[in-house]
Structure 1
Amino acid sequence: MKLRKVTAAAAAALVLSLTATACGGDDGDDSSTGSDSGGGKIKIGIKYDQPGLGLKEPDGSFSGFDVDVATYVAKELGYEADQIEFVETISADRENALSRGDVKFIAATYSINEERQQKVDFAGPYLLAHQDLLIKADSDISEATDLNDKKLCSVTGSTSAQNVKNDFAPKAQLRERGTYSECIAALQSGAVDAVTTDDSILAGFAAQDQYEGQFKLAGLKLSNENYGIGVKKGDTETMNKINEALEKMVSDGAWDTAVKENFGPADYKNEPAPEIGNIVK
């Protein structure tokens, strides 16, 4: 009887030991959670087709201001560059990508507005952009009203060109293309007189080596676009940590450096870094 009691106790101890070991093993496996422990990977949504902002290069690397911001923020959350997985998030799918948990956050020319704030939470803003015009370097267009009887290009489905026609130049001739790259090519060839969208996007295209010195921004401020970093609705912890990272990026000079490196060749007159939570209407 005495031997049986010792054996039972030893068996119980063994079970407890195995249980504790199993629990300890689970604690170390967070590679797919997207947490900020630094132990695994983090998925971040960006654009793949916007030079100067979010661009997937032919060699598979990524470049642009949004990429630089996202990389800085990820590092502050505990992730090195090789732990980041950039995921293409097109405009129409950004809210769904966050709600599904496909990505931890999105930095993709994501303008903060009331409709989107009903679906996601935003850190930032981290850049204040404006709708503007991209024109040839020798163009005499200086105001939106100068576009009357001229050809104006934007992408199919965009409201930018229609806004110019409705509010400034009713006689403007709208030309739609499938991508901004096509609009830029049309501007280069003389098929259109101007391209319109956010000045940051236009500056990114104009800064490409093949267009050096050919284009300029008109410098108009036809709208205010407050770029924010989107996180899943209710994820206040991540939003607050990203805001802290953005404030640090501005204070240590990394924000200014990223602006100059990505937009400098286009002579982009950027606004100062915006104050966190200050949405310019």
Structure 2
Amino acid sequence: MNFRKASALAAAVVALSLTATACGSDDGGDGAGNGGGGSGDGGGSTVTIGIKFDQPGLGLQTPDGDFEGFDVDVATYVANELGYDAEDIEWKEAISAERENMIKNGDVDFVVATYSITDQRKEEVSFAGPYFIAQQDLLIRADDEVTDVEQINDLNLCSVAGSTSAQNVAEKFAPDAELQEYGGYSECLTGLENKAVDALTTDDAILAGYASQDAHAGKFKLAGLELNPEHYGIGVPKDDTELRDKINAALEKMVEDGSWARFVETHFGPAGYEAADAPEITETD
């Protein structure tokens, strides 16, 4: 990547624009914003960022081709701090099972895609952050009840291949549950609605986004089980300490200037989801 030094004036513009517009959007939303504050040198440099395209509230491609969500705003803020304007960002879909490969192959510069930091993943890539803590939970139909972890062993679950949620089911709390692994959460949601599965399991922030969509109003609910904490990090190439440290500095600034809290309220507030406080950055070695 070609990092360009952002001026103090440009940084101020970023802070204002973050509260005014959604990334890549001209509709005046509350996200990270078009017209970001990277200084820009007119050289056409771009940054490629992997995000999710199908997670409402986190990373979602809208019908008009724009992108919105908490991860999108975080990624846009970080890119601005690295010297890139919003129009310099190329978004690529980061399917869960392909995130490490995308980073290692150079398909993206970094990944901001509900990417849980794990020791296994750190053997292949490095992380900045964390910038968010979620809890694994279940999304169930509105008239169902799951109140105990032991009940999960009797369920037909759905999760996404390559996700930590799927691994946790098999290895930690529900080894006897029947688990179906699909390519995306949208497929699991269809299965839940059609009663092909009993529950969708992943991070509560992701589940809250799906449950709050107008199309799903009244159909689903979170079980309210805190099954496993998930620390979201920004994936970077293995041992790229320079990029990691620059992103960590951007994340710290994002919390300090209030942008992190605004992003949380914008994208999780309408769903009634209460996010944990911004976590301490630990990925420094």
Question: Is TM (by shorter chain) over 0.5?
Answer: yes
Deviations 1:71-120 (A, max 9, x none): 01111112221111112233333233333333222111111112222332
Distance (whole Å) between structure 2 residues aligned to residue 137 and residue 121 of structure 1: 39
**Residue matched to 2:136:** 131
Q: What's the counterpart of residue 260 of structure 1?
A: 265
2:81 to 76, 85, 88: 76
Q: Cα RMSD (Å) of the superposition?
A: 2.6
The structure whose residues are more often helix, as a share, is 1
Residues 18-67 of structure 1 deviation map (CA, whole Å, 9 limit, x = unaligned) = xxxxxxxxxxxxxxx44234432211111222222222222111111111
C-alpha displacement of 1:274: 0.6
1:229 is the counterpart of 2:207 = no
For 1:65 and 1:251, the matched residues in 2 are separated by 17
- Over alpha carbons, which structure has the higher Rg? 1
Task: Report deviation, 1:170.
Answer: 6.1
* Cα distance in 2 between the residues matched to 1:220 and 1:199: 9
For 1:251, the equivalent position in structure 2 comes to 256
1:148 Cα deviation after fit: 4.9
Equivalence for 2:186: 181
How far apart are residue 125 of structure 1 and its match? 0.2
Match of 2:159 among 151, 154, 160: 154
CA contact (8 A) 2:71 2:113 kept: yes
- TM-score normalised by structure 2 residue count: 0.76
What secondary structure is seen at the aligned counterpart in 1 of 2:130?
Answer: strand
Q: Is the 8 A contact 2:115 2:232 kept in 1?
A: yes
Contact 1:207/1:262, CA 8 A, preserved across alignment: no
Matched residue SS, 1:130: strand
Change over 3 Å in CA distance of 1:91–1:166 after alignment to 2: closer
Which shows bigger deviation, 135-144 or 110-119?
Answer: 135-144
- Give yes or no for the alignment of 1:219 onto 2:224: yes
- Residue 59 of structure 2 is matched in structure 1 by 54
CA contact (8 A) 1:216 1:266 kept: no
Equivalent in the alignment of 2:97: 92
Shift of residue 222, structure 1, vs aligned partner: 1.4
Partner of 1:36: 4
Residue 196 of structure 1: aligned partner: 201
Return the offset for 1:171: 5.9
Deviation at 1:187, TM superposition (A): 2.5
Letter in 2 for 1:109: T
Contact 1:123/1:230, CA 8 A, preserved across alignment? yes
Q: Paired residue for 1:142? A: 147
Q: Partner letter of residue 271 of structure 1?
A: A
Structure 2: stretches of 5+ with no match in the other structure: 6-39
Aligned residues: 247
Identical aligned residues as a percent: 59
- Residue 277 of structure 2 is matched in structure 1 by 272
Q: What CA distance in whole angstroms lies between the structure 1 residues aligned with 2:113 and 2:178?
A: 29
Q: CA deviation at 1:143?
A: 2.1
Segments of 5+ residues of structure 1 without an aligned counterpart are 1-32
Q: How has the CA–CA distance of structure 1 residues 214 and 261 changed in structure 2, closer, same or farther, with 3 Å as cutoff?
A: farther
Deviation at 1:128, TM superposition (A): 1.1
What is the TM-score when the length of structure 1 is the normalising length? Answer: 0.77
